[in-house]
Amino acid sequence: MSHSRAFSVFAILPLLALLTGLLMMTAADESAWGYTGDQGPANWGEIAPEYVLCAEGNAQSPIDIRDAVEADLVDIEFHYGETANKIFNNGHTIQVDIDPGSHIVYNGITYDLLQFHFHAPSEHKIDGEAAPMEIHFVHQDQNSNNLAVVGVLLIEGDAQREAYAPVFGHMPAQIGAPEPAGDPLDLAALVPQESGYYTYTGSLTTPPCSEVVRWLLLDAPVAVSAEQIAAYRALYDGNARPIQPLGNRDLLYTRP
């Protein structure tokens, strides 16, 4: 008898540890969101009170780009330099944080580049078609805290895009804090030299889905290699929020 009692005590200890672990995970992950199942986009609005706009907002992103009204809009002025950067896996995507200094000027407002990150497939669609990937260059106006996000569609080309090599070659599989990357990035070489763009007012495409974004989606895609796309998709494949209704918002297009 004593033998079997001793056995049951030792058998239950790992179980208790496991249960405690699960309870702690549940507490820490209360507002965890993802792209599938209960944590998926259809449920984001119910996961936490601060995510309510994901369900109830009326200026949400991404959208399907169609029937854009052509207009003669100002250029997006890119002031992108060569910069040190920090690349990391934030649990939802691969993100590259940028040292201060690079910015865009749009409609007289300066927006500082904070970071860029990836989605696969693209979040925005053009006439119902998604691209293999989309990059979001996230900029912020320090006066209003409003964001301007430049979206660049990535398509598959014949060759590796050298400017992107420092990023695609160093994507961490492990979720973790920003780590200084070895090679500086030539930011200007990451975006198309000449492009028209679509623009509308929308939201973050991830919780809390804040409606603070001037979207600037470039219509000229950037070609990267199949291997570069595969390197990202090995880590994240399917981190695209479904299309949201345009509603009564303006969707404008301006030629290069």
Neighbours of 162 (CB within 10 A): 9
192 with 218: CB under 8 angstroms? Answer: yes
Q: Provide the minimum distance between the beta carbon of 111 and Zn ion in the complex, in angstroms, as a whole number.
A: 16
Q: Provide the minimum distance between the beta carbon of 27 and Zn ion in the complex, in angstroms, as a whole number.
A: 28
Neighbours of 141 (CB within 10 A): 17
Tell me if 241 contacts Zn ion by CB under 5 A: no
3-state helix, strand, coil in the chain (%, to 5): 25, 30, 45
Residue number of the CB closest to Zn ion reads 136
The smaller minimum CB distance to Zn ion, of residues 133 and 251, is found at 133
The smaller minimum CB distance to Zn ion, of residues 124 and 136, is found at 136
Element (H, E) at 202: strand 197-202
Terminal C-alpha separation, the chain: 84
Which of the following is catalytic: 3, 79, 92, 139? 92
Q: Provide the minimum distance between the beta carbon of 119 and Zn ion in the complex, in angstroms, as a whole number.
A: 5
Cα–Cα dist 236/201, whole Å: 27
The smaller minimum CB distance to Zn ion, of residues 39 and 160, is found at 39
The smaller minimum CB distance to Zn ion, of residues 45 and 62, is found at 62
Q: Provide the minimum distance between the beta carbon of 170 and Zn ion in the complex, in angstroms, as a whole number.
A: 19
Q: Provide the minimum distance between the beta carbon of 31 and Zn ion in the complex, in angstroms, as a whole number.
A: 18
Mark residues 123-162: x for contact with Zn ion by CB under 5 A, - for none: -------------x--------------------------
With b for 16 or more beta-carbon neighbours within 10 A and e for fewer, the 19-58 pattern comes to eeeeeeeeeeeeeebbbeeebebeebbebeeebbbbeebe
The smaller minimum CB distance to Zn ion, of residues 86 and 160, is found at 86
Does the annotation mark 170 as catalytic?
Answer: no
Amino acid found at 195: S
How many residues bind Zn ion (CB under 5 A)? The answer is: 1
Catalytic amino acids?
A: 92
Provide the binding-site residues for Zn ion, judged by CB under 5 A.
Answer: 136
